Amino acid sequence: MTTGTAAAPRLLTGRTVLFLLAAVSAGTSFYLLLTVVPLYAVTRSGAQTAGAGLTTAVLMLTTIVAELAAPRVIGRIGRRATLAISLVLLGPPALILPLSADPATVLGVCGLRGLGFGLAVVIGSAWMADLVPSARLGEALGVYGATMGVPAIVALPLGVWLVDRVGFGPVFVAAAATALAGLIPLLGLPPGYPSSGTARLSVLSGLRSGDLARPAVVFAATATAAGILVTFLPLATTQSIVVAPALLIQAAMATFGRWWAGRHDRRGADRLMVAGAMTATVGLLAFVLVDRPVAVLAGAATFGLGFGVAQNASISLMFRSVPDSAYDTASAVWNLAYDAGMGVGAAAFGLLVGITGFTVGFALAASLIPLALLTLLSHHGKDHS
């Protein structure tokens, strides 16, 4: 296998296609029910809006738990077996929901599905990186990120649309079947852990590593902004008609940004990280004019592009700083930055805007990204001094 030349092997080999099919199955099953389960909790189990929020909270909590545990689990049983377990956790538990709308049952299903999703997202980037020549790492991550953006764009609204037409039961069955279908392509894949796996890195050690922590901090700041937009845009603007288009544009541009950054990764992931972070900052600043539809739509597009570029550039930087046996740990740290940033951002911004209002709140939130970027730039400045 030749690497490091323009004639490097194709990215989309039989193995990468099989892996992507399994990963898309996991993502589709997850996003199909992400909005549907909270709706089910309110309409069928009699839970209040707090109960709906609790379903998402439990889902994300167990996702983070699984992300922390994933490198150790993968190190013991390999990526193929771990991804198979994650698909089983994502799929069959959904079949329990039509049988019982008891709040405890619903939360239990959310917990199991969160564990499955957490394992899947850690495996995803790491296994993709292992299946391609190192010279095309950034490009491969861009292809993976863009591919996984499709379930988020399509399956998230599709779940609610289907519930309105066929009811909850068939949607739960569809989510279960989609996850289990992902087991089929796994049969054609190797166990998926590098033979040099003796030099594994724990998640705690990864968090202590500056080479992983610095890009993770910058990415967490952009993820914080993403969590703020998704959660508060419907509340912040009086122009409610622009909310759905803005969120769709943001998701689509983020997917495009990940792909584009992968295509240009050879020019330098560190430069792309800076460009992505600053583009996201400009996009978020546009929401200072949150009651102007043009500003909201332009801000959503600009922020989404920057967020997507930052996603790919940050994980590319992290993978390039560790041996292949630590890819799973780097992926875990990156996903923790993503989920923690999204969650902390929404919670903190909710408190902040109660004091400042949305206009000042968006401006302050935007300032976090360049502040985080200073940690990366100051380190590079020391390297070149």
Judge whether residue 190 has pLDDT over 50.
yes
Whose tokens are 């377990």? That residue is 85
Q: Distance between terminal CA atoms of the chain?
A: 37
Find out whether 26 and 179 touch, Cβ atoms under 8 Å.
yes
pLDDT digits (tens, 9 = 90+) for 295-306: 999 999 999 999
- Residue 366 carries which side chain, given as an amino acid letter? A
Which pLDDT band holds residue 172 (cuts at 50, 70, 90)? very high
pTM score, whole prediction: 0.81
Res 195: pLDDT: 43
Burial class (CB in 10 A: 0-12, 13-18, 19+), 246: buried
| Cα distance between residue 352 and residue 228, in whole Å | 11
| Cα distance between residue 224 and residue 339, in whole Å | 9
Judge whether residue 46 has pLDDT over 80.
no
Residue with the bigger pLDDT between 367 and 44: it is 367
| Cα distance between residue 256 and residue 329, in whole Å | 26
| Cα distance between residue 123 and residue 136, in whole Å | 18
Torsional sign, CA 150, 271, 10, 332: negative
Distances (CA, A) of 131 to 190, 273, 318, 350: 10, 24, 17, 42
Res 211: pLDDT: 74
- Residue 338 carries which side chain, given as an amino acid letter? Y
Whose tokens are 């969590």? That residue is 227
Task: For residue 195, count other CB atoms closer than 10 A to its CB.
Answer: 7
Displacement of CA 370 from its chain's centroid (Å): 21
Cβ neighbors of 340 (< 8 A, separation 6 or more) are 64, 220, 223
Residue with the bigger pLDDT between 12 and 180: it is 180
Find out whether 225 and 307 touch, Cβ atoms under 8 Å.
yes
Judge whether residue 217 has pLDDT over 50.
yes
Which pLDDT band holds residue 204 (cuts at 50, 70, 90)? low
**Alpha-helical regions (H) of 237-326:** 243-263, 269-285, 293-320
Over the chain, what is the mean pLDDT?
85
Task: Give the mean model confidence (pLDDT) for residues 166-170.
Answer: 93
Task: Give the mean model confidence (pLDDT) for residues 338-361.
Answer: 84
Task: For residue 170, count other CB atoms closer than 10 A to its CB.
Answer: 13
Res 379: pLDDT: 59
Judge whether residue 230 has pLDDT over 50.
yes
Task: Give the mean model confidence (pLDDT) for residues 63-73.
Answer: 90
Find out whether 118 and 85 touch, Cβ atoms under 8 Å.
no
Judge whether residue 21 has pLDDT over 90.
yes
Mind listing the domains of the chain with CATH numbers? 9-193 (1.20.1250.20), 196-385 (1.20.1250.20)
Cβ neighbors of 81 (< 8 A, separation 6 or more) are 191
Judge whether residue 329 has pLDDT over 50.
yes
Judge whether residue 239 has pLDDT over 90.
no
Whose tokens are 């030749």? That residue is 2
| Cα distance between residue 143 and residue 315, in whole Å | 13
Res 198: pLDDT: 44
Find out whether 342 and 289 touch, Cβ atoms under 8 Å.
no
Which pLDDT band holds residue 283 (cuts at 50, 70, 90)? very high
| Cα distance between residue 380 and residue 240, in whole Å | 43
Assigned token pair, 378: 């100051």
Res 89: pLDDT: 97
Q: What percent of the chain has pLDDT over 70?
A: 88
| Cα distance between residue 174 and residue 76, in whole Å | 31
Distances (CA, A) of 368 to 206, 301, 361, 371: 23, 19, 11, 5
Judge whether residue 1 has pLDDT over 80.
no
Task: For residue 383, count other CB atoms closer than 10 A to its CB.
Answer: 7
